[in-house]
Amino acid sequence: MAYLRNLRRNLLASSVALTLATASVTAQAEQFINILTGGTSGVYYPLGVALSKIYGENIKDVRTQVQATKASVENLNLLQQGKGEVALALGDSVKMAWEGNTDAGFKGKLDKLRGIAAIYPNYIQIVASKEAGINALSDLKGKSLSVGAAKSGTELNARAIFAAAGMSYSDLGKTEYLPFAESVELMKNRQLDSTLQSAGLGVASLKDLSTSQAITVVSIPADIITKLGTPYIATTIPAGTYQGQDKDVPTAAVINFLVTHADVPEETVYQMTKLMFDNLPAMEAAHQAAKDIKLEKALEGMPIPLHPGAEKFFKEKGLIK
């Protein structure tokens, strides 16, 4: 009997040890990809969801997660801390993060950041309620404006635009620091005159606003964009982008980048880069802004070093010799 009891005890111990060992190997084999995006009513979030599905279905032993954030600045700080594997971020924010611009919300140089690809441009979209009588940048004086969450990529764009126009937030009647959806809700309730949103064309928040009230899309003149310089470029919000917008509107744009950090394995980043470009129709189905993601433009204006995994992909495609 004692022999049988000992045998059972040894078999049980062996079984537990085998289970723990198997679990350990599984945990080591499984990869985790946390995708840092932005608010759920912006463009980053649906594109992040699309990437999550693409990666989850095509990278072996991977588990993905999409994290809604305050966008560019927060995303880059989280990457530096290793709290995400890939993020979407505005080009000027990426540049300032690499330089360690403390005024922009970075405690120092974010030296772990590595580039994956340039993706699509963010259009600086200033939209006012028609009844506010705002038809030009100068008309914002004395009016209320939401400039995006404090020290977000959008808010950094707002600061730059105001500085180039010879204005500051002190010229406004009231400055609100709110994400896109909250800004629109205040405008719907007649508690806010205007909103500045840095996003892809056809952003859900502004589409929602244009279907609920008459709006004016305010232009940013070419001379102001010239003062801004790189990474800002002159572009146009085409007529019909939003309901009631019957004319093309000149504005500024900033390129977005897909960014990772140095500690993410080379093969993982290679797969992430390849799979995005292999699945652009799925990205476009998630949001029309992805129509501007072009392989031939993937390295344009990259403000940080490329990750070796992305570099391997672009060498295969002949973009890097």
Question: Alpha-carbon torsion 74, 51, 297, 290, what sign?
Answer: negative
pLDDT at 9: 58
Q: Give the pLDDT band (50/70/90) at residue 223.
A: very high
In 30-115, alpha helices (H) = 44-58, 72-80, 91-99
- Residue 91 has a pLDDT of 93
38 contacts 200 by C-beta, under 8 angstroms: no
Q: State how far Cα 119 lies from the chain centre.
A: 10
Q: Are 186 and 192 in contact (CB under 8 A)?
A: yes
290-303 pLDDT, tens digit each: 999 999 999 998 99
pLDDT reading at 45 higher than 80: yes
Residue with token string 């973009």: 319
Q: Is residue 22 over pLDDT 50?
A: no
Does the pLDDT of residue 307 top 80, yes or no? yes
Beta strand extents in the chain (DSSP E only): 31-36, 62-67, 86-90, 113-129, 144-146, 174-176, 194-199, 215-218, 232-237, 249-261
The pLDDT score that the predictor gives to residue 11 is: 43
Length in residues, the chain: 321
Specify the pLDDT at position 2.
52
List the one residue out of 120, 119, 117 whose CA is nearest residue 317: 117
pLDDT of 150: 84
Q: What is the pLDDT of residue 18?
A: 43
| Structure token digits, residue 78 | 């989280």
Overall average pLDDT of the 80-104 stretch = 95
CA–CA gap between residue 218 and residue 237 (Å, rounded): 10
pLDDT of residue 6: 53
pLDDT at 111 over 50: yes
Could you tell me the domains of the chain?
A: 30-120+255-316 (3.40.190.10), 122-254 (3.40.190.10)
CB 123 within 8 A of CB 237: yes
Count other C-beta atoms under 10 Å from residue 239's C-beta: 12
List, for residues 119-132, the tens digit of each pLDDT value.
999 899 999 999 99
Structure confidence by residue, pLDDT tens digits, 53-62: 999 999 999 9
Query: Considering the chain, what is the average pLDDT of its residues?
Result: 91
pLDDT surpassing 80 at residue 190: yes
Task: Give the burial string for 80-94 (b: 16+ CB within 10 Å, else e).
Answer: beeebbbbbbbbbbb
Residue 19 burial (10 A CB sphere; 0-12, 13-18, 19+): exposed
| pLDDT at residue 210 tops 60 | yes
**CB distance 309 to 266 below 8 Å:** yes
Residue 172 has pLDDT above 80, yes or no: yes
- The encoded tokens of residue 299 equal 């390295």
Average pLDDT over residues 104-114: 96
Percent of the chain residues topping a pLDDT of 70: 91
pLDDT at 74: 95
**Partners of 237 in the beta sheet?**
249
Q: Tokens 């939209």 identify what position?
A: 127
Q: What's the pLDDT band for 20 if we cut at 50, 70, 90?
A: very low
User: What is the C-alpha separation between 310 and 203, in angstroms, rounded?
Assistant: 28
Sequence-ordered list of residues with C-beta below 8 angstroms from that of 298, at least 6 positions apart, any chain? 117, 118, 277, 314, 319
Q: Is it the case that residue 25 has pLDDT exceeding 60?
A: no
CA distance 203 to 179: 13
Residue carrying structure tokens 């772990």: 112
Collapsing DSSP to helix, strand or coil, 226 comes out as helix
